[in-house]
Amino acid sequence: MIPDPDSVTALLRRAATEIILPRFQKLARHQIREKGPGDLVTIADTEAERLLTPLLAALVPGSVVVGEEAVAADRDVLQRLAGTAGVWLIDPVDGTFNFAHGDPNFAVIVAFVEHGYVRAGWIHEPVDGETVWAIAEQGAWRDHRRLIVPEPPPPEKMVGIVSGRLPNGRRARGALEAGGWPGRMGSIRCAGRTYAKLAAGEFHYAYFSRSMPWDHAAGWLIHREAGGYGAFLDGAGYSPLRSDYPLLLAPDRAMWNKLHALLAT
């Protein structure tokens, strides 16, 4: 059962309006804490996930939820992805560091997974009030406007998001620069916003050193349904069951191969 996209969008807007935006640029120090070194969580993260969890589960009878903050509290929650029930993946505030520091580059991400396959995904941008979403085999949309990844420009005019290191420990950005890659590279510290811009052609490629499913399942599907190509760095197709391995996105397979050749050398 594929959930109604408008119903999910409405829930994400509700979480943003009632919980997240009222705290944007208004967080008290005691409302921010570290889960790990440099890994922040705020009251907005925990309360938004608490709101969304039962509401999303109610949309698909028998479904279960894997939320980022629930996994942080109990790692065994992640095992629900391997079960037979439909699974909702929730990142209640993707880009928490940005959110906590008053930067508008944050998003709410939700994906729906069945039997290890991503069936639907949503990325809601609270400050802009827009939602990008996709249903498998039915295209990608910004609200109700179809998204199509445009033809890539020449590499020297491409803009990408490159963060983290390669499996061998080398910085991914350094590897591309050493290989003579001419495209511009940066990072906005928010996977959700990055995927939305990839699907719209505002960014052209991205490398993520980690692939936690709540960060990437929805965005990977949206990018694919808009016509882009993404796979793990070892060439394997994306799966939310593989939770911590580098992921490379490009506007098409040919450009993915060019980037991959530089990163894998």
Q: What is the DSSP letter of 236?
A: P
Q: Which residues of 19-52 are buried (b: 16+ CB within 10 A; e: fewer)?
A: bbeebbeebeeebbeeeeeeebbbebbbbbbebb
The span from the CA of 34 to the CA of 246, in Å, is 24
pLDDT (0 to 100) of residue 237: 97
**DSSP letter string, 121-162:** EEEEETTTTEEEEEETTS-EEETTEEE-PPPP--GGG-EEEE
Contact yes or no for 101/248 (Cβ under 8 A): no
Residues carrying CATH 3.40.190.80, the chain:
155-264
Lookup: tokens for 112 = 């729906």
CATH number for the domain running over 155-264: 3.40.190.80
The predicted model gives 73-91 an average pLDDT of 96
Topology of domain 5-146 in CATH is Fructose-1,6-Bisphosphatase; Chain A, domain 1 (3.30.540)
The predicted model gives 250-257 an average pLDDT of 98
At 98-126, the pLDDT tens digits run 999 999 999 999 999 999 999 999 999 99
Q: Is the pLDDT of residue 192 over 90?
A: yes
Say if pTM beats, i.e. exceeds, 0.85. yes
At 18-30, the pLDDT tens digits run 999 999 999 999 9
Q: Is the pLDDT of residue 35 over 90?
A: no
Q: Is the pLDDT of residue 37 over 90?
A: no
Residues carrying CATH 3.30.540.10, the chain:
5-146
The span from the CA of 158 to the CA of 254, in Å, is 14
